Amino acid sequence: MSSPTTQRWGSDVIVDLIKAHDFPYAAINPGSSFRGLHDSLVNYGGNVPEMLLCPHEEIAVQIAHGYAKASGKPMLAIVHDVVGLLHSTMAVYYAYIDRAPVFLIGATGPLDEAERRPMIDWIHTANVQGQAVRSYTKWDYQPASIDGIVDSFARAYGIMMTEPTGPVYLCYDAGLQEKPLSAQPALTAIGGQRVPTRVAADAQALAAAADLLVAAENPVLLAEYSGARPGNFAAHVELAETLAAGFVDVGSRLNFPSRHPLNMSLIDGAFSGADVIAGLDVRDWERLTSKLDRTTRLTTSLVPEDCRWIDIGFGDLEISAWSMDYQRFRRADLRILGDTAQAVPALAALCRQRIAANPAIQRRIAARFERLSATHATARRRWTTQVREHWDDMPISLPRLASELWAVIENEDWVLTSNTLRDWTRRLWDFDAPYRHPGKSLGTATQIGISLGVALAHRGTDRLVVAIEPDGDLMFDPGALWVAAKSKIPMLIVMFNNRAYYNDWEHQLLMARLRATPESRAHIGMDLFGPEPDFAMLARSMGCVGIGPIEKPDELADALSKAIAEVKAGKPVVVDVVTAKR
């Protein structure tokens, strides 16, 4: 401890709890409501955990979000009373729907009216401050005493880390933080097991699932969040190979090696002829198993009507009464509640037992493996050919950018943070380890902060962290670049700069075609030109290395190589690449 005084304060207890739970970092945007906690962290706590100063609360929460996705461990995000919490809400919501365990700490002006400063403590104090995020956090609490701080902290940690994981919010009264401590409270609540044991799937239901999968002519495995559990990346391979089942990765976490011959992700016809589909902790089951008409919003199933469905995971445990992130209801033949960390290896063992006793099934599985391997190989050859079709285009095509990036990182120990260049990285790169990619990008104004968190999780290793950053996303939070420079987070940020909010531009084009209005006017309110942001100059102004803008495709390789050398020297680097719209 580095405190120059023997006097203890209420906020010191919070620091004791933070240290006892091994939080490595705290991302903050400053606020007077937690000035007591801030002083305790710096002086009583000796600036451990390390504080990362952020110019916006959204960035602070997104860093914690990305760190959790990449490491499987939580960190703190600390935000100022009502206004800071309201600033952070969109990032909290995305952490909730992405199952990211974020420990969010807030504060409020003194609840004792006699202690409130005129005006400011009144407008920054809410009756129930946690209500602002209650609909999209797993739990929130505002302790009324020092003893309540201890119990609620331990409870919040356990709730946050119990599957399905998600953010929690604790709000601390400024008066309670700044109150002199008369006695050290017992920290007994933090002893013992912090997180409950895993939820085991019903054994009889798993046996029934094994019977269905082994008997199937064309089984398909569909996985979304299952890959977040340690060991499941390999367990998915074991189950798929045992059955010779096609594997489709939804992409919210990395679930399966991209070049494995059974990987049917992004391949047309992956569900054609499927007679059994097993969802492994899947919420977004409909998007990949349906064809969407984006103009009419109508969907057509790609799955045969008589296909049997098995659902294994936590879907029924995370349904919110407020958010509709639970998706359309899927009527499954078997709905099995349980943690796939246990269920997938157990299911693979049950399938092996059944297959070993039946030579006919063994022959059918061997033939299916050969057929699916050929399908996978054909798709990969097609993607390689498609890369060359627009190789010399200006602006630079997305397949070429993905290909040039792969050429300079394939011999590195690399990590891709979020964006996948409309899935061209998933087609061309070799995602051969679970840490290569923590999951697909979410909404605009989330990606740069999450990417920082992913890079922070790998800081101090020899891994090369690559963030493909859309221009529209960075325009929301350009100050995130300063955080990378200030906190010395080395990473390669390659701009996916199509000079547009093109996702919405595409929607306006659909409306123009439907309504026979001019397509030439679809860009209004969507374009990012006239003037064009110079992201390399922006990066330099924030203390990062800035290269570009790169507009000629032949300049890409050299620019990327120079950038990687700077990253290896410990710097965050932005390479501004002007790309095609799609």
- Residue 3 pLDDT exceeds 70: no
Same-domain status, 471 and 338? no
- Residue 154 pLDDT exceeds 60: yes
Give the integer Cα–Cα distance in Å for 216 and 248. Answer: 17
Domain boundary among 190, 221, 241: 190
Q: Which domain holds residue 171?
A: 10-190
Q: Render pLDDT for 56-102 as a digit per residue (tens, 0 to 9).
A: 999 999 999 999 999 999 999 999 999 999 999 999 999 999 999 99
H/E stretch holding 347: helix 340-356
Give the integer Cα–Cα distance in Å for 99 and 138. Answer: 10
Instruction: Give Cβ neighbours of residue 142 (< 8 Å, ≥ 6 apart).
Output: 108, 128, 129, 130, 170, 171, 172, 173
Same-domain status, 425 and 365? no
Single-letter code of the amino acid located at 74? P
Domain boundary among 124, 156, 190: 190
pLDDT class of 166 with cuts at 50, 70, 90: very high
Same-domain status, 182 and 230? no
Beta bridge partner(s), residue 497: 578
- Residue 188 pLDDT exceeds 80: no
Give the integer Cα–Cα distance in Å for 304 and 440. Answer: 28
The torsion angle over the Cα atoms of residues 306, 307, 313 and 315, rounded to 10 degrees, is: -50
- Residue 497 pLDDT exceeds 70: yes
* Ramachandran angles phi, psi of 254, nearest 5°: -80, 115
Domain presence at residue 195: no
Same-domain status, 240 and 289? yes
Same-domain status, 435 and 529? yes
Domain presence at residue 3: no
Retrieve residue 544's tokens: 């990062």
Give the integer Cα–Cα distance in Å for 159 and 141. Answer: 12
Contact 483, 55 (CB under 8 A): yes
In the numeric block, the tokens 């063992």 are attached to 349
Give the integer Cα–Cα distance in Å for 25 and 27. Answer: 7
Structurally, the chain folds into a number of domains equal to: 3
Domain presence at residue 508: yes
- Residue 189 pLDDT exceeds 60: no
CATH of the domain at 14: 3.40.50.970
Domain presence at residue 196: no
Domain presence at residue 380: no
The confidence score (pLDDT) of residue 463 equals 98
Same-domain status, 207 and 185? no
Q: How many CB atoms lie within 10 A of CB 531?
A: 6
The confidence score (pLDDT) of residue 122 equals 85
CATH of the domain at 217: 3.40.50.1220
pLDDT class of 461 with cuts at 50, 70, 90: very high
Same-domain status, 317 and 363? yes
Q: Render pLDDT for 190-226 as a digit per residue (tens, 0 to 9).
A: 666 789 999 999 999 999 999 999 999 999 999 999 9
- Residue 31 pLDDT exceeds 60: yes
- Residue 104 pLDDT exceeds 50: yes
Same-domain status, 473 and 402? yes
Secondary structure of 88-106 in the HEC alphabet?
HHHHHHHHHHCCCCCEEEE
Same-domain status, 90 and 221? no
Same-domain status, 181 and 213? no
What does pLDDT average to over the chain?
95
Domain presence at residue 463: yes
Beta bridge partner(s), residue 248: 222
Domain presence at residue 2: no
Same-domain status, 68 and 186? yes
The confidence score (pLDDT) of residue 325 equals 82
**Nearest CA-CA partner of 308 in 223, 210, 202, 232:** 210
Query: How many percent of the chain have pLDDT more than 90?
Result: 89
Q: Render pLDDT for 277-335 as a digit per residue (tens, 0 to 9).
A: 999 999 999 999 999 998 999 999 999 999 999 999 997 887 877 888 888 888 899 99
**Nearest CA-CA partner of 470 in 504, 438, 437, 493:** 493
Domain presence at residue 107: yes
Q: Render pLDDT for 247-268 as a digit per residue (tens, 0 to 9).
A: 999 999 999 999 999 999 999 9
If you average pLDDT over residues 510-529, what whole number do you get? Answer: 95
CA distances from 126 to 29, 132, 173, 213, 291 (A): 19, 10, 11, 54, 46
Q: How are the residues of the chain apportioned to helix, strand and coil, as percentages rounded to the nearest 5?
A: 45, 15, 40
- Residue 109 pLDDT exceeds 90: no
The model's pTM is: 0.96
pLDDT class of 5 with cuts at 50, 70, 90: low
Contact 231, 238 (CB under 8 A): no
- Residue 1 pLDDT exceeds 50: no
Domain boundary among 375, 405, 439: 375
Same-domain status, 115 and 235? no
The confidence score (pLDDT) of residue 416 equals 98
